């Protein structure tokens, strides 16, 4: 559909031109009327007024003629009569002249005729001439016929004057009519102009002012922040439509700007959030924590309050991460974050410092000891919350934590020393068996320094070969024959003496040096075993972390080749925790090792997770019953039943089984009676250095004597 563009400008111009036309037409009519009136008046004046004057002159001359006639009749002498006659002749000429002038003036007017006067005047002149020629030479007073003639002349002039009067009246009536017509026309034009002006005004109000106001209101609302505005007048096709469209475009631009502004604001907010928050858990990060701690230290220095700084480190989180995967680790961290969040107050600071480390700063009252009690209860509550199992799809993760606490008030050290103090307390908690908390005490600082030194030393010990394998015999308990040795890492510290593996292996794991330790122990074990009889095998313990390393079988094979030990003389002991994270990957690694002829033992059987499941899923060559069952067996019917069940199971699966932790003869007898073929424990011997192995092999161990 073709839309015609309307224009307010053209409409206004049309209105104004119409009004102007009316005014001009009105003026033209007025001018025309006035001209006509003026022309009429001039003509009337020339013909009828001058004519009436000439008639007056004619009447006057006729009357003077009559008087001269009378004067001549009354004159006593001839000279008087002659003078009167001469005057009369002059008057008669005047009459004729004036009559001629009148006739000339009125020549074009049909009412200007003087026929009646001419007839009366001719008769009067004839009778006058007769009177002058009559007896008495006209001495007698004129009268009779002459009076009658004169009266008729006078009547004729009066009648003609009446004609002039009638013409004047007609003329006046015509002019009055014309004036009335002009007035009516003027009134009509004025009314039309008023109506037109009113219509124009109403139209301007309705079509121009009201829409303009509506647009102005919409723009005011837009300026005030409203955005959901329907811009009025957009459907119009005139200048207001153009303006409304322009305003709508402006509104859309404002909306786009708003959106861009909002996006920029969100991006900035996000950047702020990222700068201040930990991306995984959403908790404040180390930056926020440091600032808050500094502020707390400043307030504490002023003696305004006492504070508690709690460093929370998850226990065995690294295992979850390495064994169950990073996704599971992330889940655990988020779950712990939410639990901690629920436990802290609004005014406390809770932050994730990184990894599995969280921190809390709480403000206490002025009483330091009361604050200490409160913090103790708070820490215990936190531990309880963290220990609660974490649902992870079909499985659950049970995680613990160690908390180090440092209370500070006026006179406290700086941020670095406080952090170090809390850190030391946290390590003390870890050393104290984990799942616990410790308050910092000055004495811990020295121990911490010692621990740090130990960390340095243990790292050096791996590289310089100070950590060596000792060998504990694995015995055929029925025959009292040594079947092999388990390589157990031993470290003699230059100043501290022997450090137990339970102490240094976790440090090595924390330092991420497990692979290096395993390789060093394995290489040394191979070298040592190479000197033993061929039927004596060597068992090495493998850290869970290594079962995630695809290259692990290649590494082992390479070491076996380099050290010249037959793969069938090597046993690899793995604990169940190593299998939990990625069973298919562990399976592939173990299969590869078995394919090379290496034996795989399931260590510490019964203490791990889903032992039976793992027995079914993986093809183990040997099972080692954890020493806790063996040692509890004597005098504990339940443990004995468990040993019976395990032996029954492994027997039916044709799996050789080693009982760990045999310390005395009664235990050995019980196990022999139950059909257990292999054993290990202090009864046969503790782990001995490589140099002592030959002697032990030569000496042999004691078999179980018959009861
Ligand atoms: P494990 O593999 O179960 O090793 C057996 C542990 O039981 C050894 O402790 C051994 O000394 C101890 N033991 C043996 N017989 C008896 C007994 O009759 N009574 C008692 N009470 N204990 C006995 P150790 O040497 O302290 O090792 C502890 C754990 O450290 C080992 O447990 C093993 O898991 C780990 N470990 C030791 N050496 C290495 C190593 O070279 N690499 C790795 N990754 N782990 C190792
Ligand atoms: Mg072992
Ligand atoms: Mg064991």
Q: Give the helix/strand (H/E) hosting 165.
A: helix 145-203
The answer, yes or no, to whether residue 690 has pLDDT greater than 60, is: yes
The answer, yes or no, to whether residue 423 has pLDDT greater than 60, is: yes
User: pLDDT-derived band of residue 79, with 50, 70 and 90 as boundaries?
Assistant: confident
Ligand 1 centroid to 294 CA: how many Å?
46
With CA atoms as reference, report the closest residue to 521 among 566, 491, 564. 491
Task: Enter the tokens of residue 383.
Answer: 């531990």
Residue-level pLDDT at 35:
86
Is the Cβ–Cβ distance between 662 and 480 less than 8 Å?
no
Ligand 2 centroid to 541 CA: how many Å?
5
Question: Can you list the positions of beta strands (E) in 271-389?
Answer: 306-315, 349-354, 357-364
Ligand 3 centroid to 621 CA: how many Å?
15
Of 506, 541, 576, which is best to mutate to test ligand 1, by the most ligand atoms within 8 angstroms of its C-beta?
A: 541
Weakest mean pLDDT among 81-95, 115-129, 440-454: 440-454
Alpha carbon distance 109, 128 (integer Å)? 31
- 448-507 pLDDT per residue, tens: 788 788 899 999 999 999 999 999 999 999 888 999 999 999 999 999 899 999 999 989
Pocket of ligand 1 (CB under 6 A): 472, 488-489, 500-502, 505, 517-518, 521, 541-543, 573, 603-604, 627, 661-663, 680-682, 687
Across 590-617, average pLDDT: 87
Residue-level pLDDT at 5:
61
Sign of the CA dihedral 556, 561, 564, 569? positive
The answer, yes or no, to whether residue 412 has pLDDT greater than 50, is: yes
Nearest-CA residue for atom 26 of ligand 1: 501
- 202-252 pLDDT per residue, tens: 988 988 899 999 999 999 999 998 988 888 988 888 889 889 999 999 999
Alpha carbon distance 594, 584 (integer Å)? 15
Report the atom number in ligand 1 closest to the C-alpha of 683: 18
pLDDT averaged over every residue in the chain: 88
Report the atom number in ligand 1 closest to the C-alpha of 626: 3
Task: Enter the tokens of residue 639.
Answer: 């443990």
Residue-level pLDDT at 581:
67
Q: Max Cα separation, the chain? A: 226
Ligand 2 centroid to 447 CA: how many Å?
30
Bridging pattern class, strands 306-315 and 467-476: unpaired
Distance of CA 418 to the CA centre of its chain: 42
Is the Cβ–Cβ distance between 511 and 523 less than 8 Å?
no
Alpha carbon distance 341, 336 (integer Å)? 8
Ligand 2 centroid to 670 CA: how many Å?
22
Tokens 């974050």 correspond to what residue?
Answer: 337
Ligand 3 centroid to 624 CA: how many Å?
7
Residue-level pLDDT at 592:
94
Tokens 């599995």 correspond to what residue?
Answer: 356
The answer, yes or no, to whether residue 647 has pLDDT greater than 80, is: yes
Alpha carbon distance 245, 268 (integer Å)? 34
Ligand 3 centroid to 183 CA: how many Å?
132
Q: Where are the alpha helices (DSSP H) in 511-610?
A: 514-530, 552-563, 577-580, 583-595
Across 281-309, average pLDDT: 91
Residue-level pLDDT at 2:
46
The answer, yes or no, to whether residue 3 has pLDDT greater than 60, is: no
Across 616-630, average pLDDT: 91
Alpha carbon distance 571, 549 (integer Å)? 18
Q: What is the DSSP letter of 344?
A: S
Q: Give the helix/strand (H/E) hosting 96.
A: helix 78-105
User: From the CA of 545, which ligand is nearest?
Assistant: 1
Alpha carbon distance 453, 499 (integer Å)? 13
- 315-369 pLDDT per residue, tens: 888 888 877 888 889 999 999 999 999 999 999 999 999 999 999 999 987 788 8
Alpha carbon distance 264, 274 (integer Å)? 15
SS3 549: coil
User: pLDDT-derived band of residue 142, with 50, 70 and 90 as boundaries?
Assistant: low
User: pLDDT-derived band of residue 10, with 50, 70 and 90 as boundaries?
Assistant: confident
User: From the CA of 502, which ligand is nearest?
Assistant: 1
Nearest-CA residue for atom 46 of ligand 1: 541
Task: Enter the tokens of residue 687.
Answer: 């782990």
Is the Cβ–Cβ distance between 31 and 201 less than 8 Å?
no
SS3 283: coil
Which residues are paired to 306 by β-bridges? 364
Nearest-10 crossing angle of helices 552-563, 514-530? 30
Ligand 1 centroid to 488 CA: how many Å?
6
User: pLDDT-derived band of residue 271, with 50, 70 and 90 as boundaries?
Assistant: confident
Residue-level pLDDT at 363:
92
Tokens 């002059």 correspond to what residue?
Answer: 90
Report the atom number in ligand 1 closest to the C-alpha of 500: 26
Contacts of 548 (CB under 8 A, 6+ apart): 322, 323, 581, 582, 585
Is the Cβ–Cβ distance between 227 and 219 less than 8 Å?
no
Using a CB cutoff of 8 Å and minimum separation of 24, what contacts does 643-652 make?
A: 643/671, 643/674, 643/676, 644/674, 646/605, 646/606, 647/674, 647/675, 647/676, 649/612, 649/615, 650/623, 651/675
Residue-level pLDDT at 1:
46
- 541-592 pLDDT per residue, tens: 998 888 888 899 999 999 999 999 999 999 999 988 777 667 888 889 999 9
User: pLDDT-derived band of residue 414, with 50, 70 and 90 as boundaries?
Assistant: confident
How long a stretch of residues is the chain? 707
Across 649-656, average pLDDT: 93
Ligand 3 centroid to 390 CA: how many Å?
28
Residue-level pLDDT at 695:
95
User: From the CA of 661, which ligand is nearest?
Assistant: 1
With CA atoms as reference, report the closest residue to 451 among 489, 415, 423. 423
Nearest-CA residue for atom 15 of ligand 1: 681
Which residues are paired to 623 by β-bridges? 602, 657
Alpha carbon distance 463, 332 (integer Å)? 34
With CA atoms as reference, report the closest residue to 46 among 112, 97, 91, 96. 112
What are residue 5's phi and psi, to 5 degrees? -80, 125
The answer, yes or no, to whether residue 526 has pLDDT greater than 70, is: yes
Q: pTM for the complete prediction?
A: 0.52
Across 63-70, average pLDDT: 88
Residue-level pLDDT at 600:
95
Contacts of 442 (CB under 8 A, 6+ apart): none
**Which one is predicted more confidently, 702 or 704?**
702
Of 472, 485, 501, which is best to mutate to test ligand 1, by the most ligand atoms within 8 angstroms of its C-beta?
A: 501
Using a CB cutoff of 8 Å and minimum separation of 24, what contacts does 695-698 make?
A: 696/473, 696/482, 697/482, 697/532, 697/533, 697/536
Q: Give the helix/strand (H/E) hosting 376.
A: helix 368-387
Report the atom number in ligand 1 closest to the C-alpha of 663: 18
User: From the CA of 604, which ligand is nearest?
Assistant: 3
């Amino acid at each position: 559909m073709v839309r015609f563009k309307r224009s307010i400008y053209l409409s206004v111009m049309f209105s104004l031109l119409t009004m102007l036309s009316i005014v001009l037409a009105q003026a033209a009519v007025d001018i025309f009327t006035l001209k006509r009136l003026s022309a009429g008046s001039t003509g009337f004046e020339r013909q009828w007024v001058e004519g009436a004057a000439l008639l007056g002159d004619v009447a006057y001359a006729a009357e003077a003629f009559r008087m001269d006639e009378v004067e001549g009749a009354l004159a006593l002498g001839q000279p008087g009569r002659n003078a009167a006659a001469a005057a009369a002749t002059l008057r008669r000429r005047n009459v004729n002249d004036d009559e001629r002038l009148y006739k000339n003036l009125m020549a074009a007017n049909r009412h200007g005729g003087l026929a009646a006067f001419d007839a009366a005047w001719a008769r009067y002149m004839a009778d006058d001439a007769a009177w002058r020629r009559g007896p008495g030479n006209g001495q007698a007073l004129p009268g009779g016929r002459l009076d009658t003639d004169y009266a008729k002349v006078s009547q004729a002039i009066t009648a003609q004057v009446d004609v002039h009067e009638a013409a004047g009246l007609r003329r006046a009536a015509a002019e009055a009519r014309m004036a009335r017509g002009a007035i009516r026309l003027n009134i009509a034009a004025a009314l039309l102009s008023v109506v037109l002006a009113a219509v124009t005004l109403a139209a301007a109000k309705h079509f121009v002012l009201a829409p303009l106001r509506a647009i102005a209101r919409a723009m005011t609302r837009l300026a005030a922040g409203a955005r959901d505005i329907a811009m009025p007048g957009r459907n119009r096709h005139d200048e207001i439509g153009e303006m409304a469209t322009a305003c709508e475009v402006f509104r859309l631009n404002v909306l786009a700007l708003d959106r861009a502004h909002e996006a920029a604001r969100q991006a900035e907010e996000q950047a702020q959030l990222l700068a201040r928050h930990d991306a995984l858990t959403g908790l404040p990060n180390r930056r926020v924590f440091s600032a808050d701690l500094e502020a707390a230290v400043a307030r504490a220095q002023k003696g305004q309050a006492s504070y508690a700084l709690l460093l929370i480190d998850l226990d065995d989180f690294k295992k979850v991460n390495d064994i169950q995967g990073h996704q599971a680790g992330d889940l655990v961290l988020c779950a712990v974050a939410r639990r901690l969040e629920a436990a802290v107050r609004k005014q406390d600071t809770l932050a994730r410092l990184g990894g599995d480390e969280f921190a809390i700063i709480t403000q206490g009252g002025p009483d330091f000891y009361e604050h200490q009690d409160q913090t103790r209860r708070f820490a215990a509550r936190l531990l309880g919350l963290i220990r609660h199992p974490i649902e992870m799809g079909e499985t659950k993760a049970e995680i613990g934590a160690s908390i180090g606490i440092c209370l500070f008030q006026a006179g406290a050290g700086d941020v670095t020393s406080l952090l170090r103090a809390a850190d030391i307390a946290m390590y003390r908690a870890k050393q104290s068996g984990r799942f616990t908390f410790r308050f910092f005490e000055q004495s811990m600082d020295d121990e911490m320094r010692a621990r740090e030194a130990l960390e340095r030393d243990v790292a050096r010990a791996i590289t310089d070969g100070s950590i060596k394998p000792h060998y504990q015999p694995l015995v055929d308990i029925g025959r009292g024959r040594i079947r092999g040795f388990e390589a157990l890492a031993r470290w003699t510290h230059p100043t501290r003496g022997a450090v137990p593996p339970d102490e240094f292996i976790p440090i090595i794991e924390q330092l991420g040096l497990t692979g290096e330790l395993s390789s060093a122990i394995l290489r040394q074990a191979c070298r040592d075993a190479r000197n033993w009889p061929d039927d004596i095998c060597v068992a090495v313990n493998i850290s869970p972390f290594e079962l995630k390393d695809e290259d692990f079988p290649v590494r082992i094979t390479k070491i076996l080749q380099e050290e010249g030990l037959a793969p069938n003389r090597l046993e690899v002991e793995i604990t169940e925790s190593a299998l939990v994270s990625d069973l298919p990957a562990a399976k592939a690694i173990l299969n590869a090792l078995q394919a090379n002829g290496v034996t795989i033992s399931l260590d510490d059987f019964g203490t791990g997770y889903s032992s039976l499941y793992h027995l079914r899923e993986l093809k183990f060559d040997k099972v080692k019953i954890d020493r806790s069952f063996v040692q509890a067996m004597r005098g504990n019917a339940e443990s004995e039943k468990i040993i019976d069940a395990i032996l029954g199971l492994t027997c039916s699966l044709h799996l050789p089984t080693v009982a760990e932790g045999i310390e005395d003869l009664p235990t050995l007898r019980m196990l022999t009676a139950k059909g257990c073929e292999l054993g290990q424990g202090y009864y046969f011997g503790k782990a001995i250095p490589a140099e002592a192995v030959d002697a032990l092999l030569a000496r042999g161990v004691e078999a179980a004597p018959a009861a």
